Structure 1
Amino acid sequence: MRVLFASTRGSGHFQPLVPLIDLCTARGDDVLVVAPPALEPLLASRQQPYRIGAKPPDDELSATLARVLSLPPDDGVRLMIREVFGGLLLDAMLPELDEACRTWRPDLVLHEACEFASVVAAERHGIPHARVAISAAGFTDFTEAQLEAVFEPHGRGLADRLRTSPYLTRLPASLDPSPYTETHRYREPARPGSPSDRWDDGEEPLVYATLGTEAGTLPTAAELYRALLDAVRGLPVRVLLTVGHGTDAAALGPIPRNVRVESWVPQDDVLRSASLVVCHGGSGTVFGALAAGVPLVCVPLFADQPVNARLVAAAGAGLAVTPTGAPADEAAVLGTDDVRDIRSAVELLLKDASYRARAGHLAAEMRSAADCAETIATLDPTT
């Protein structure tokens, strides 16, 4: 089988494709990855052939993203889908994806759920396509209400055909019910690794604190990380805080004695040792924590994070702390009340074992899903 994988930029968009790319490669399928320029360094380090599409004009993208951040959350998401993923990014990537579908002739196109140019290209050339979830199904369903207008210039009925295409997700049904008729739940293969000696230097519980890969690019990044440091200062825990490669740890001010700051760590490795995760509620972090049976304190900032935080809280696998700090420079900040509430949530989750037990139940449900090989075999149009 020839499989074309398509992604927009960003770790949270590409990483859900990785186990499927690796599985198809191991099966002996012909694999081609098409992605924007920002992913080229990562793709160059991997073994699969790839092609790089174009990127939108920087000034147009920056102006649109500024508008997104200035709007209330739901309105910002709608604009992001219509004008960024369904506008600027679709237009930039469509020529390369259309050419790949025309000349390479894949049997199947697998795209992350916010990459829409591959849908247009696959439909033009009569190629089956399926989407890989990067967020909760309810959030995806909300965003797809915008797609009628997105796809209208490219042909009639595309939004309906996207909605009826196979939907692949790693999240369990009890946490994330799906509105899509053809939903495939799959589990990722276990990844090799072990707890690192860097994080095993004490008896206190280990708290992993992260705001993912995008928060570090916000103008208020230093203030956000400072609030997390203040929330855990002096607690009887060890804290590992990751701040990304775009944030200078020296800009955060004094680091509490119980905190270690690093730019990046392998998430799976630290989760093997963690008792608790404090995060922004990004899908990748939430998925990783729940797959490891680790409860979460979610402090959602934008995009799908409020939905993820509500799902985690409703499932009893953690708590949501909705920021009350006023916006500053078109980005979220955390106020004094938020710092207090994060601290209280950390203390409660470490004291009440029911949260970890519930996270463990979700982890067991995720392990019971079909493996990647079964899912790919189900989608293979050549068999």
Structure 2
Amino acid sequence: MNPGWLMAFRPAPMGASLTERVRGACGALLGLLLTGLICGRLDPGAASPLLIAPLGASAVLLFALPASPLAQPWSILGGNIVSAVIGVTCAHWIPDPLLAAPFAVAFAIGGMFALRCLHPPGGAIALTAVLGGPAVTAAGYGFVLKPVALESLLLTLAALAFHAATRHAYPHRQQPVRHHPHGTADAAPTQRLGVQAEDLDAVLRQHDELLDVSRDDLDSVVRQAEMHAYRRRFGEITCADIMSRDVVTVQSGTKLAEAWRLLRRHDIRALPVLDPARRVIGMVSDVDFLRSPELDLYEGFAARFHAMIRRPRAVRAERPEVVGQIMPRTVRTVPEGTHVADLVPLMADAGLRHVAVVDERQQLSGIISQADLIAALYRGGLGRGVAGRGSRAA
């Protein structure tokens, strides 16, 4: 006997931490408890079981595997309901239960595939509709509404509330398609090298087997693995190693003319905007000056620009006068210990030209430009090349 074949029966290691395991168990406990209590209050004299057995399998998916495509709200609601309908129909039209049961499960799988709501406990619900006993048989299609639809809905609502209370993402949102920051059809820069979306789709088609992980999650894992490999190859180069420390800054109330003079005098492209505690509240760049509605027309551009930054003789509420009126309302900062690899998606995909670096007190400690990042990547590449030649020479 081939020992390698026997090795396939070894249990795979569980990637979930102890906290995640306890959280999943507690979620199933609370979800099923609340579902049972509410159903008991709604129909205290019901002849059918208070909780149907397949709901336990649904609880495992909803609370222990909330990221699975099989555990999403449409999967549990649609999968359980369509399986119940098919199970009751098979029980009605096929007299022999031993024949009706496998047909019910097979048709339920086909129906869930067609409606994109595959949910493994749905097969058990289809089987229950056929072999559940006199109470289920007497209920007929009422079994679909109560207990199947009602308990599936209550358990889903319990899962939504529990995951929200424990700050866990559910339902699992699909990642939006990342395009070029300029709004063109080009893929994001970090998607043009390494494993691309087309490569992942091709492999999944060749695999031709349903995986219990969404395509978006698989793509995210691959890209995070690429970033991890980059850190391993290039070493621990952090933002503190490459940032500019002598930073020219402004405040929200700084006049536009003064901010523009600072940009020109120091030959820089962006100014961090700080509050009195030196915390970063914004970033104003030369592009923000050019985004003013008063500069939309090409005719007389220079005159319009100088008129905008020149101190007005009369106060006009609609005319921007200080930095706080033109700076973006959101600003992205990174801690000093952030690896430079983490800046690549921010500057390449999100289109940021400058990123402010903050210390543990969230105060400004430096700024990194795209040029700083390129220089760091270049130096890292040189170091790798030198190390590679040294190892070959040895």
The TM-score, its normalising length taken from structure 1, stands at 0.21
Which one has the bigger strand percentage?
1
* Structure 1 or 2: more helix by fraction: 2
Structure label with greater radius of gyration:
2
